[in-house]
Structure 1
Amino acid sequence: AWPRLRTWIEESAEELRTQRRISSGARAWSEAGREEAALWRGSQLAVARDWAADEDNRASLPALAAGFVAASIAEDSAARRAQRRRTRRLHGVIAMLTALVLAVAVLTVYAFRQRQAAAGARDAAIAASQSANSREAAIEAGQLRAQDPSLAAQLSVAAYGVAHTPQATAALLESSGEPSAARIVDSPGVVQSVSVSPDRRLLAAAGADGTLRLWNVAVPGHPSPVATLVQANGQDPLYTAAFSPDGKTLAAAGAGRVVRLWDVADPAHPVPVGQPLTGPSNTIYSVAFSPDGKTLAAASADKTVRLWNVADPAQAVPLGQPLTGPAGYVESVAFSPDGKTLAAASADKTVWLWDVANPAEPFPYYGMPLTGPAAIVTAVAFSPDGHTLAAASQDDKVWLWTLAAGTPTASQDGTLTGATNWVNTIAFSPDGTSIAAGTSDAGVLIWSRASRNRIAMLPRPQPVTSIAWDGPGRLASGDADGTVSMWTLPSPELAAADKTTAVAYNPNGATLAVGGQDVQLWNAASRTHVATHPLAAGMFVNGLAFSPDGRILAAAYSDHTVGLLNASTLAPLGAPFQVTAAGNAETVAFSPDGTVLATGGDDGTVRLWSVTDPAHPSQLSSVHDSGTYVFTVVFSPDGKTLAAASTDNLTRLWDVANPARPAQLGKPLGGFSSYAIGLAFTPDGKLLAVGSADKTIRLWSIANPARPVQVGAPLTGPAGYVWGLAFSPDGTTLAAGVTDGTVWLWRVTAPASPSLIATLTGPAGHVYSVAFAPSGGQLAASSDDGTVHLWDVSPGAAESQACANLGQPLTRAEWNVYVPGVPYRAPCS
């Protein structure tokens, strides 16, 4: 309709221009006519004058003049009337055309508005559909996250890409707080073994369907297929694969009872080497090269271990007689770093050690076998320094032995616990500081070798059959679902300690303090443990605070004392000092200038201490804040006001400009139906947030601390006590830790009407404390499940992190399984 309407308008305009030209011509003709008439009258008057000069004509002159004048007037009047008629007709035409133009304009505006309305309705429908699709994908991501964080991260990225719904935002941020893995879809069956080449460029995966594949893993997060050495046959499952120390040879074996070798110097064109190595009369479960690459060992279900000289892989020859002794299947073999010892794991619940300094004449260590495990021993591994031997068992434990230097003896050195099902595989990190194990309870557990504490848990949807370190910061795991996961370490979920109750960032942002049944210090960048300050049995930490200069860490203990620790080493700066007459010391806070420490305790008092000499704190004042517990104290940014939250449901403000004489300011802040617990000031000190056991948060304007005013309605949504509160360094975001295991984020740029950003899940216990990193980009939350979760608080940063370690993206078929009915969207596309 619009093109036709536009043509009509143009034609009407042209007609109007024509009429205007006609009108202009008429005016010109009229003026020319008047000039001609005037000339004619002039000539006639001249003739009349000449005629009148004759004596005989004078007598008739008046009558003739009168007639002439009357005729001229009549003629002029007629011309004027004709001109007016023509003008009126032109004005009518112009008026009509103007009306038509106006009508066209009105119709055009109406049509435009109708088109806008239709487009708006269409856009609204599309937006509603996209929001629904985004929410659906985000919900699916949340359901997958505990079992498969890799797939959950991909779905979260896709959900956020469809629409920035609160659910998608939450899913994306939650993914940043879970272990990250690039996935490799290797086969439709179980991946039985993974091995990483010494140069960390290749990964070999052996499958229960008989496949053997090579993958390029040189670029972290972006694996790609290189070659398939053995196609699926369904008859001869492969159970093991291993690279030689120079990375040029790959050995693999399985149900076929032979070991095959390939030259993989050119990974894209692997070449079989020599003849298959024979001898075992049953399935081969494990192969291993000696550190010098000259000897190959194979463990078999025929209860033996065989050795071959593979100095020339094309001419491999057996070495000596098969090693015997185990009374069950030999599940795994491993050489010590010096190549002189060979360990074997047996289904008879034992571990055997042989001296293979001369592999042609091996002999067992004195006192063999090593015992202790209560079930099948599935795997063995030596530490890089050769001092520790680890064994995985189906008794759900990892067993450790210390090897005496220079002597063929081993002594039992405890166990690593935490698995709830069989431990199938084990490996030391290249630097020897960590021990990883794949388990049948669908996950990889990692322990600190020094402390024996579990430091990470990497979840998978099905049992983990094999693991291999890819340098100190990456770990490959083969899984029963046919995939390989390339994990990035350390995990953003810190396995700190049991009953973790408090967390605080050093003002310099370098370290993170964690309180529980001890005090721990973690490197915030590398997420690695730095130091521990142990506590007496039964003690625990209730609160932590760094001094503004970052040199002192104050800890409130359950034995009614506070300890001041060196913030770099956690060494005590002096003896703990008593801050409450009864019960727990609940909370600590430093003044902005670092000279005063405030404490609150179960006796209802708030005390102020001079800590200019941290080895000898001295009390400045004590006020009776309430008749019940004081759970939290916090200084305002200017240091003049102290807020104290109490279990009498009230929060009191104290003037502490003179810390020796605190004075209460105004009336207590109330409105809660249960305990006041969490407290946080905005960085500008104008707003105070108070969290309660009644599951709400109230915001107060503290511009005039003597007359605080509640701002807006209480924030609701949490299903548990609001225990920990923190504002982001720029004051725009409020985080709340809740005892229902969630962390809530609100945008508070307009305090009277905050908007929910996301609700984060992940912790399995109560969240007692939250803290923003000084940079504002990260949020830490401590939970009494023994973990500290670290999340990105920027969706953009979380998306970048997920896409950097994506691995193979979800296929259309997989997408249809997880979010059927939602249009496919490739993550990170």
Structure 2
Amino acid sequence: MLTLEGYVATGGVVGALGRRAEELYGRLDPRAQATCRQVFLRLVSVDPAAQDTRRRVRRRELRQLDLDADALDEILNRYGERRLLSFDREPLTRTPTVEVAHEAILSQWDRLRSWIEERREDLVLHRRLVEAVEEWQDAQRNPEFLPLAGRLIQYEDWARSTDLALSSDEAVFLEQGRRGEDERNARTARRRRAVLGGFAFAAVVAALLAGLALVGREQARRNAHVASSRELAASAVSVLDRDPELSVLLALRAAEAAKPTFEAVSALHEALQQDHALWTLERRLRKPANGFWSPDWGSLSPNGRLLLVGAVNGFEVWNVDRHRRLWNVHLARGEVPLARFSSNGSSVVGTTVWDLASSQAPPAGVRPGVHVWDALTGREIRYRPLGRCPAYGLSQSGSFVDLSRPVAVYGPERTRRGPRRCDSQTLELFLVDVMTGKRKPVATQSGGFPPDVLGLTGIATSADAKYMAISGPTRTEVVDTDTRRTIFSREVSGPAWVALSSNGSRVVTAGGSEEPLSLWDVRSGRLLRQFDATQVIWFGFSQDDKTLVTFGAEGVVRLWDVATGHEVMSLPGHKGTWAGLSANGTRLASFADDDSVRVWTLAKRGEVGQFWLEPGFYPGDSLDVEGGRAAVMVSPRPSYAEAVVFNPSTGAVQAKIPSITGQVIRLSPDGRRLAAQQQVSPATPRRPALDGPVLIHDLDTGKVTEMKGFCVYSEAVSVPSPQCQEPPRTPFKAWVGSMEFSPDGSLLAAGSEHGGGLSVWNAYTGKLLFNSGKLPGEFWNVAFSPDGRRLVASTPQELFAYDTASWKPLVRRPFVGLLPVRFTPDGRYVIGGTEANRIIIVDARTWKTTASLAGQQGAIKNLRISPDGTKIAAADFSGLVRIWDLRS
């Protein structure tokens, strides 16, 4: 029962008019749809100062348009039968007329409204032209009523640029107007020649030269724009390796400078593929005048969604996806922090110290030591003091801090004799239990190496804190924290960072500007491999120890495969001193000494391939990729199409199958066969096209197998097809709109228009196994279950399911506006897209709807499900593809 709320939600009666008009439009073939657009745009009167209204048009005017007569009759008949067009006669002349039956159609039919908005300016000028033509005809085609120079040129320019069809009367009106204008110009020229003689000749020559100059100037302007576009494209390519973001901007400017050239488009595609920058946080911090430290450090949360970044006398936490600061910690002047995210991402762990350069004791309220803050709110949840002497640094295995394990810190050693004070010439390295505050001394370093906020050039521990790697001014060591015995030692030529694997078995060292980055076995001291990287400022292992991240003096972040030593990715364009990876390795943050922070995505971006196949129109649902092959339907000209088979990796064309009809082609699961409906004879000016059966082409052997049951027919009403029967009797009419092979390739199912219903064949013999007969709603969408035991099919009104062993119906239930359908990989659910911009999820056991997802911006044209069944990709008529996560 329809409630008042439901009635209002659907738009009521007037809303039904728009849906009815769109339904009829959807049943038209592309040729008739183009004719339908021309007819309805001529039945609208556009007034810039008032509301759009319907316009009564003589049927003779429509006949005079350069439109297909059969398509015009079909449109008038269909829309007339559904009371969307009304027909009448003029009172005086009894001339037949046509008009839109209801004003509401102009506002309720979205497609018509979009046509009007797209061509509003054209329609306003066309209205003026129609009025001028009517005045001219009422005056018995008096030449005085023909347009003069200015208005004529306006009409002619419009007629050349518009895609609105002109009637023969309008074309004659413009032709005679041009002829009259030419004659007037000729008479003027003759008079001028008679009066001026040679001056007239000179004027004509000057006019010709001026015209050529104008043409040349316009051509020169276009050439300059093209040259500028190509120069910008070349610049985009030249900076691609150094600054992908700048390359993207240059490529976009190249595309805007002129009609996009091949060079501009190629540069833009390359730049988008190389640009991994997700977000850049620009900051200008006021640093201490003494330059004692710089807040160029930070941490990325394990899931990569939160960013911890150092600030003057404090730090900040930002939401990466929303580009919004969540909270910050402000410390006293002279209080220096260093922090990281915990391993589960729920908290921030950091140390704060009082500036050693200050001779004053820490003021009240300053609490040097280890702090733990809540990662989302900034609330301090734990604090452990570390004694009077400051404790610098905060290190553990990997990029994060596991609160259940000790962390490595260091600081000036406390003197044991005389007044107790901090000895800045000797540094003590120790482990701290964050939960209890207990300290465990590990080693000491002497020699007056001054600490700063980063302290020693680097310290790191194994995951169990049994081993600590220490990099000093001239030597890198690995110490057993239990015995305090050095188990690995190597001299380095200058201060450098250090990285220790999580199990403590491998250490990475570097030093100075020339010493290469090296991976060592800790126990044996054996060199395992060297990386082609020098002048490294910072480096560290990923959380799984499989990737090494380096930051070089040239300002490029590089990722290396630890197993092979090969570089796997470079991220240029941000000169920094610190970097941090997310736990899953999908994002990376780099911290620069200019206070900026850049977050990178390490996933591939942009197009993965682009191929130039054939010029023409590519139907949206005709692309198919199976078994290492791809096939697409291409229509290079009206009423003709062909199937192009190509290698999806290289774009190399492997086969072309001519004379294809229908709306879809499909490859078998192994990619060896192609199914397509064949056009028996193409359309000619005197004869419409004849559509025939579905053929399966063996792409390896060339063998063709005909699917039985289709008759040869023409969709034109004027061409009779007496041999065609009403299905399931054969042969019957069918224009294929959806087609699928079964998972094992043994069956082929096709849904069709023109009353053909749902058909299933043996894909090897061509024998017709099942036909549903003609049912309400013509356009079918079909899908097999992953095990091939069920087949689902949809019409605009219903959803059907069949048992493929017996072809007995399993279910038939109403579903309004259901378009594409797909099974999930496990066969438990059927996913469908609707005309109402929704994705529905149906339980394949109970056939009840379990979820409805809203958010698409148009009727859903196609959808696909990821192999793991967790994501849906849906394309709608807005032109966008949206990815849905079924888990959330």
TM range (shorter): 0.3 to 0.5
Greater radius of gyration (CA)? 1
Q: TM-score of the superposition, structure 1-length normalised?
A: 0.37
Larger RCO of the pair (alpha carbons < 8 Å, separation 6+): 1
**Could you tell me the TM-score, scaled by structure 2's length?**
0.35
